[in-house]
Amino acid sequence: MFGLSLKEVFSVTLILFSVIDILGAIPIIIDLRKKEGEIESGKATIVAGIIMFAFLFIGSSILSLFGVDVESFAVAGALIMFLLGLEMVLNIEIFKSEPEEERSTKSTIVPLAFPLLAGAGTMTTLISLRAEYERNNIIVGVIVNLIIVYIVLKLSGKIAEVIGKSGTMVLRKIFGIILIAIAIKLGKSNFIMPV
């Protein structure tokens, strides 16, 4: 139906879930809640979705302006996904976070929607996925992730209480390992070794 493949949708959903790392972001979300009082879950999800879909549809056009093909970008994306996975597994910081700015009501958009939910890793991953999966399957995977993001944002306080700090760390490491494996597979399928 609509050219959808459940296997591809599941793979895309899992990859994006690992990259977005909404469960690993729960401590940051809780901190934002403490500082701001309330987070506009719907607004943050919609803005993150707009950014993701914009990059999914026009990302390759932007690349062509720079003379870069999707396969080359997929290899670069695989490298970034690999490093993100290493960060999660080894609990280190490879990608330095931006210095903290003064928080205001804009915190729903920055840093929550961007770059926490729809950051460089997510954008790179979306373009990389275009080289491997059908667009319809990616769209469904993005929608599934946006629904998960919205639910987690709404229930972040309760989720943190249930899984605790150690549970969050375990989940982060599991998804980190999955992300590393996916990055290696994505890099292998798009990287042509000279003969």
According to the model, what pLDDT value does residue 95 have? 66
Whether residue 181 has pLDDT greater than 60: yes
Rounded distance between C-alpha atoms, residue 38 and residue 157, angstroms: 11
Q: Is the pTM of this model over 0.85?
A: no
Residue 194 confidence (pLDDT) above 60: no
- Matching residue, tokens 């992300």: 179
Q: Return mean pLDDT, the chain.
A: 81
Note the pLDDT of residue 77.
Answer: 74
C-alpha span between 175 and 18 (Å, rounded): 5
Range of 55-64, 94-103, 137-146 with top mean pLDDT? 137-146
pLDDT by residue (tens digit) across 103-136? Answer: 444 567 877 888 788 877 788 889 889 888 999 9
pLDDT for the residue numbered 158: 84
Q: Catalogue the long-range contacts made by 29-32 (C-beta closer than 8 Å, 24 or more residues apart).
A: 29/112, 29/152, 29/153, 29/156, 30/156, 30/157, 30/160, 32/103, 32/107, 32/112
Q: Compute the average pLDDT of residues 6-12.
A: 94
**Domain regions of the chain by residue span:** 6-92+106-184
Q: What's the pLDDT score for residue 8?
A: 94
* Beta carbons of 79 and 187 less than 8 angstroms apart: yes
Query: By percentage, how much of the chain surpasses pLDDT 90?
Result: 25
Question: When comparing pLDDT for 76 and 11, which is higher?
Answer: 11
Q: What are the tens digits of pLDDT across the range 32-74?
A: 776 676 788 999 999 999 999 998 998 878 878 888 877 777 7
171 vs 155, residue with greater confidence: 155
Q: Percent of the chain at pLDDT above 70?
A: 88
Closest CA to 155 of 13, 26, 28, 46: 26
| For residue 6, pLDDT beyond 90 | yes
- Alpha-carbon span 24 to 9, nearest angstrom: 22
